[in-house]
Structure 1
Amino acid sequence: MNSKYGKLFEEVTFNNGVKLDTRFAMAPMVVDGSSLEGDVTEEDIKYFERRANAASLLISGAAAVTEYGNAFGYALGIYRDEQLDGLTQLATSMKSKGNKAICQIFHPGREAKVTFQQHGVVYGPSSMDVDFLDYPITGLTEEQVEEVIDQYVKAAGRAIDAGFDGVEIHGANHYLIQQFFSEISNKRNDKWGGKRENRAAFGIEITKRVKELVTKRGKKDFIIGYRISPEEIHGNIAGYTLDDSLYLIDKIADLGIDYIHSSLWGAEAYKSKALMGDHEGEIINQVIHELLAGRTKLIAAGDILSADAALDALNYTDIIALASAVLMDPEIRQKIKNGQEETINFDVTDRYDELALPKHFPIMLPAVNANGHIPQETFDYIKTVMLEEDRKYTLENKNI
């Protein structure tokens, strides 16, 4: 190993005492390998078996906590006890090389477009029509809000039963928890809406109750993480700023969880700068890291596609999360460890089959190409593979 990358292979210890042997995590990515009902399939198993040594901490794609949470069509579910056998197999495959397995739990809220096709309804914090959705959003009643919180807790219980090493509560990427935090999507006038403290309460309460369950179950070594998109800004309109997120992050960290996971998007996103507020122009992850001040670990994701980018990211975080990199080259961590970082390869044209990507994976391609570092040949090839196999879905109007 090139000695300058030694910091990437230092041990990390979470608040609960669990240790990672390196600073590498595999970011949560939806790859559409499950059944339409969210059940684990052989494709899910093979996908994670192929990447079981890609990082010390592997985080699953978003697993819905409710049947009304189908945003992607073929993503994971963790809302029925009948799913436990498959989830157990999934956890086993993720842990097969001795690394830690995390199940990311989420409710997509208004983004549950497949749910609307199936059930004719999607839920969000408030009833409204928005111009970027072709269906209405139905606001949750106070009773339903409590039911959703309970669904997160039950999902965490199933993750324990399935043998996962932890859960990540998905409060990012415009899904339900973020929708509650956003002034744009949360128009409630009860205890879950209005001022910032009320809008933050939904994510805080979910985290608090999940932690209480873990304590009650006696799982001292069960990892709890929370993912957040640090800003929601559309031009001059803010759903919330980094200043608001710092309030929420501070409250979540006070609960004693094991990590905060910062979700950022675009070129060199891991060192994106705040667009508004008291920290405008400052590196977001650096500000968050300073706020946490060792109380809990910070995981950062966003355009980390090389050994040098991974090393640079550690200036602002404790753990680096690889996304597209482990899709296209599952050996990236091992190559860096072996001093073979020059052989990292994102061109899949001659090795697509051995990557064990699920058959519906091409539907998710737009999310992979946010940074422009994956070769266009890779995207062209994957599209060709899908069309050649006459798959049900096409990539028309997906802006790839």
Structure 2
Amino acid sequence: MTTKTFLSPFRFNNGLVIKNHIVMSPMTTMSSFYNGMITTDELNYYAARAGGPGMMLTGVANVSDNGKGFEGELSVAHDEMLVGLTKLAKAIHKDGTKAILQIFHAGRKSNSAILRGEKPVSASALAASYPANSETPRALNNQEILQIISDFGEATRRAIQAGFDGIELHGANTYLLQQFFSENSNQRTDTWGGSREKRLKFPLAVIKTVNEVVNKYANRPFLVGYRISPEEIETPGIRLEDSLFFVDKIKSKIDYLHLSMGDYKRTSLNNPNNKKTLISQFARHTQGIIPLIGIGSIETPEDVNAAMADGADLVAIGREFIREPQWVQKVAGNDLNSIRTQISPSDMDELAIPPVMQTYLKESFYSVMHFTDDPKIHQSYQNTLAPMEGFEKKI
């Protein structure tokens, strides 16, 4: 018999209670308007999946105009976005699901075409190693860095005003928060770079500003989460020891930690002698302090139980929620046989998947989406980075 303790309520340290331990992962829809406003397609997509998970994380929203990382990206950079963001929070709140807005700045993981002729920016003027045609960004000056920190604060204010229950700082997948911490992308010699401690200054400043905004504007429990990539594969680059150091520095300043990886069974990609799962190693640094969200190819109740047994307090489900919007409801009702573990291309409209997102799934995630017309053995992300982690994978 499958144990389902993950369906019990969970309480955060700040008092926010979610109805179960299941989180819907932040997933790119690529379906916002050209200026970052929410579309009806996106609202329908989230509404179809609301009501089951304890909380849902939106696809990422940029906090600055020059922080846009891809076309069709949600924005929280201006007050005129509030009307649409309020509709989004309301759609997610169906049947008590909590709504978390994920926010970021893409940094060098953008290009001048996406930014309408403007050069991308980063900690240093160093191009990313992948994709191969990455543009060399312009190094941010001190005033610009301070402005982006302020932009994160303003984005948080808008999330509060729109009715969200929290924000998640996307410090993973090689975006700007990670770019400042990584020696691969930050080779500054001023106060914003140099030693590991100095490279931590930018994310710490963002967290501080966001918390100040929450204290000023939120009249209800409001979460500040942080998403982190455990490792980088470049040299120089972030290693597991760096990330654990990072977590120790921020864990008293955030409400939860969310890992970003394609498989919950993953071990270190850089140290083959380290056989322990990444979840278990991060859990040793967070247990009893803040909740840890485990993630990666979670499909079944058994996967959820395994991730929680490994140290995850909450478990995020991504691709399976695309295939099966009613996953939680079906598990709760012991209707396991009806859960979709594959997806037919002809069913994607019925599943309220926006048309642009359908194309994205076919082009970038075909081998791991379990499409019924895929004759190949399904690929695993256990021993490799996934496309959403910043790796440009050729399908």
Pair in the same fold by TM > 0.5: yes
Q: CA deviation at 1:363?
A: 4.3
Work out whether 1:359 is the aligned partner of 2:393. Answer: no
Per the alignment, residue 172 of structure 1 pairs with 172
Q: How does 1:139-154 map to 2 (within 5 A)?
A: 139-154=139-154
SS of 2:298's equivalent in the other structure is coil
Q: How far apart, CA to CA, are the structure 2 residues paired with 1:283 and 1:43?
A: 37
SS of 2:95's equivalent in the other structure is coil
Per the alignment, residue 288 of structure 1 pairs with 282
Percent identity over the alignment?
33
Given residue 137 of structure 1, which amino acid in structure 2 is its aligned partner? P
Q: How far apart, CA to CA, are the structure 2 residues paired with 1:141 and 1:117?
A: 19
Given residue 61 of structure 1, which amino acid in structure 2 is its aligned partner? G
Per the alignment, residue 371 of structure 2 pairs with 375
Given residue 255 of structure 2, which amino acid in structure 1 is its aligned partner? D
Q: Deviations over 1:30-66 (max 9, x none)?
A: 1112101100111111111111124111000000001
Residues 260 and 297 of structure 1 are in contact (CA less than 8 Å); yes or no, is this contact kept in structure 2?
Answer: yes
Per the alignment, residue 255 of structure 2 pairs with 258
Residues 71 and 114 of structure 1 are in contact (CA less than 8 Å); yes or no, is this contact kept in structure 2?
Answer: no
Residues 26 and 59 of structure 2 are in contact (CA less than 8 Å); yes or no, is this contact kept in structure 1?
Answer: yes
Q: How does 1:100-119 map to 2 (within 5 A)?
A: 100-113=98-111, 116=114, 118-119=116-117
Q: CA deviation at 1:202?
A: 1.2
- Cα gap change, 1:149 to 1:277, in 2 (>3 Å): farther
Q: CA deviation at 1:262?
A: 0.5
Q: How far apart, CA to CA, are the structure 2 residues paired with 1:160 and 1:114?
A: 31
Per the alignment, residue 241 of structure 1 pairs with 239
SS of 1:133's equivalent in the other structure is coil
Q: How does 1:207-246 map to 2 (within 5 A)?
A: 207-234=207-234, 237-246=235-244
Q: How far apart, CA to CA, are the structure 2 residues paired with 1:321 and 1:139?
A: 34
Q: How far apart, CA to CA, are the structure 1 residues paired with 2:251 and 2:116?
A: 38
Per the alignment, residue 339 of structure 2 pairs with 344
SS of 1:151's equivalent in the other structure is helix
Q: CA deviation at 1:336?
A: 1.3
SS of 1:240's equivalent in the other structure is coil
Q: CA deviation at 1:113?
A: 2.8
Q: Deviations over 1:299-338 (max 9, x none)?
A: 1111101221111111120011010001111011111111
Which of 126-135 and 22-31 deviates more? 126-135
Given residue 347 of structure 1, which amino acid in structure 2 is its aligned partner? I
How many residue pairs get aligned? The number is 375
Per the alignment, residue 12 of structure 1 pairs with 10
SS of 2:68's equivalent in the other structure is coil
Q: CA deviation at 1:71?
A: 1.6
- Cα gap change, 1:314 to 1:41, in 2 (>3 Å): same
Residues 226 and 261 of structure 1 are in contact (CA less than 8 Å); yes or no, is this contact kept in structure 2?
Answer: yes
Q: 2:36 aligns with which of 30, 35, 38?
A: 38
- Cα gap change, 1:363 to 1:144, in 2 (>3 Å): farther
Q: How far apart, CA to CA, are the structure 2 residues paired with 1:134 and 1:250?
A: 32
Work out whether 1:89 is the aligned partner of 2:72. Answer: no
Residues 13 and 20 of structure 1 are in contact (CA less than 8 Å); yes or no, is this contact kept in structure 2?
Answer: yes
Q: How far apart, CA to CA, are the structure 2 residues paired with 1:37 and 1:12?
A: 36
Unaligned stretches of 5+ in structure 2?
Answer: 377-391
SS of 1:239's equivalent in the other structure is coil
Q: How far apart, CA to CA, are the structure 2 residues paired with 1:93 and 1:178?
A: 31
- Cα gap change, 1:187 to 1:13, in 2 (>3 Å): same
SS of 1:360's equivalent in the other structure is helix
Q: How does 1:179-218 map to 2 (within 5 A)?
A: 179-218=179-218
Q: CA deviation at 1:97?
A: 2.2
Which of 120-129 and 276-285 deviates more? 276-285
Residues 348 and 378 of structure 1 are in contact (CA less than 8 Å); yes or no, is this contact kept in structure 2?
Answer: no
Q: Deviations over 1:119-150 (max 9, x none)?
A: 33101110134552342211111111111110
Per the alignment, residue 138 of structure 2 pairs with 138
Residues 344 and 372 of structure 2 are in contact (CA less than 8 Å); yes or no, is this contact kept in structure 1?
Answer: no
Q: How far apart, CA to CA, are the structure 2 residues paired with 1:189 and 1:14?
A: 39
Q: CA deviation at 1:398?
A: 8.0
Report the TM-score, using the length of structure 2 for normalisation. 0.89
SS of 1:250's equivalent in the other structure is helix
Q: CA deviation at 1:6?
A: 1.9
- Cα gap change, 1:51 to 1:79, in 2 (>3 Å): same
Q: How far apart, CA to CA, are the structure 2 residues paired with 1:82 and 1:40?
A: 11
Q: How does 1:263-282 map to 2 (within 5 A)?
A: 263-265=260-262, 269-276=263-270, 280-282=274-276
Q: CA deviation at 1:73?
A: 0.3
Residues 112 and 120 of structure 2 are in contact (CA less than 8 Å); yes or no, is this contact kept in structure 1?
Answer: no
Residues 32 and 38 of structure 2 are in contact (CA less than 8 Å); yes or no, is this contact kept in structure 1?
Answer: yes
Q: How far apart, CA to CA, are the structure 2 residues paired with 1:187 and 1:374?
A: 41
Work out whether 1:303 is the aligned partner of 2:297. Answer: yes
Report the TM-score, using the length of structure 1 for normalisation. 0.88
Q: How far apart, CA to CA, are the structure 1 residues paired with 2:375 and 2:324?
A: 14
Q: 1:331 aligns with which of 311, 326, 329?
A: 326
Q: CA deviation at 1:29?
A: 0.5
- Cα gap change, 1:375 to 1:121, in 2 (>3 Å): same
Per the alignment, residue 316 of structure 2 pairs with 321
Q: How far apart, CA to CA, are the structure 2 residues paired with 1:54 and 1:378?
A: 28
Cα RMSD (Å): 2.2
Q: How far apart, CA to CA, are the structure 1 residues paired with 2:306 and 2:113?
A: 40
Q: How far apart, CA to CA, are the structure 1 residues paired with 2:123 and 2:273?
A: 28
Residues 128 and 185 of structure 2 are in contact (CA less than 8 Å); yes or no, is this contact kept in structure 1?
Answer: no
Given residue 354 of structure 1, which amino acid in structure 2 is its aligned partner? E
Q: Deviations over 1:76-132 (max 9, x none)?
A: 000010111011011110112211000000001111236555133101110134552
Q: How far apart, CA to CA, are the structure 2 residues paired with 1:164 and 1:113?
A: 30
Q: How far apart, CA to CA, are the structure 2 residues paired with 1:138 and 1:362?
A: 33
SS of 1:184's equivalent in the other structure is coil
Unaligned stretches of 5+ in structure 1?
Answer: 381-396
